[in-house]
Structure 1
Amino acid sequence: MTTVDVFNHGMPAESDFGYAQAIKSGDLIHVSGQLSVDEAGEFRHPDDFAAQLELTHANFDKVLRHYGATRNQIVSQTLYVVNLRHHARAVSEGNLAYFGDHRPVSTVLGVTELTFPGQVIETSFIVDTKLPA
């Protein structure tokens, strides 16, 4: 029998919109798009790519900690980036800094807009807890 473990940050949007931040089913954790929001669910750092990416990764790290997982167990990421050509180098540098020597598969999509005015990045992940931490 497969067990399901749902994780939320406790933000109003989770219940208002009706979604979970992450769901672990079996050995896989599927993580919703993480973005630059604080503990109250308020969007932070409009138009500041580096600051948004840092807070986005910090929010994702909370998900990993909840499940006792590490970055080395991330198998896939999907990034949505406004003005991708302008931010391409920052995306690469952010990935290298966050993942170190680990290399998950990655899809980067340039988009015209995201949920909040000034939001320039959102990223989702799949984590395999059977991989070595």
Structure 2
Amino acid sequence: MTTIDSYSHGASGEREFGCAQAIRVDHTIYVSGRLPHDEEGEFLAPGDFDAQAEQVSANFEKVLAHYGATRNQVVSETQYIVDLPRYSDAMAAANLAYFGDHRPTSSTIGVAHLFFPAQLIETNVVVDTRLPA
């Protein structure tokens, strides 16, 4: 039997967009694009790539903790970056800092805009809880 568990912060925007922060289907967790926002859904660090990347990582940790998962169980990530040529080195450094020796698959897409006008990064991941934490 398939089990499904949806997780939301209750932050502004979740109801309006009809989405969850994450959904677990059996052993796989699909995490929505993480933004640099606080618990209330307020956008943080306009125009500061490093601070935004750090906040995105912190927001991943909250979602993973809800499911008892860790970053070592992330199997795939997709990153959307505004002005990718400018921020590619910073993005790589943030990724290495977050994942350490763990190496999930990764796709990086340069985009013209994200939801918030000063937003520079959005990342989503897929997690397999059968992997060692």
TM-score by length of 2: 0.99
Deviation string, structure 1 residues 25-57 (Cα, Å, up to 9, x no partner): 010000000010111111111100000011111
Distance 2:72 2:86 in 1: 28
Distance 1:74 1:43 in 2: 25
User: 1:9 Cα deviation (Å)?
Assistant: 1.4
Deviation string, structure 1 residues 76-129 (Cα, Å, up to 9, x no partner): 000000000000000110010000000000000000000001100000000000
Distance 1:89 1:27 in 2: 33
Establish whether residue 27 from structure 1 lines up as the match of residue 55 from structure 2.
no
**4+ runs of 1 displaced by more than 2 Å?**
none
Aligned to 1:55: 55
Gaps of 5+ in 2: none
Aligned to 1:40: 40
Identity over aligned pairs, percent: 57
Distance 2:35 2:46 in 1: 11
Aligned to 1:84: 84
Letter in 1 for 2:99: F
User: 1:10 Cα deviation (Å)?
Assistant: 1.3
Distance 2:87 2:80 in 1: 11
Gaps of 5+ in 1: none
Aligned to 2:102: 102
User: 1:70 Cα deviation (Å)?
Assistant: 0.5
Distance 2:122 2:9 in 1: 16
TM-score by length of 1: 0.99
Establish whether residue 5 from structure 1 lines up as the match of residue 20 from structure 2.
no
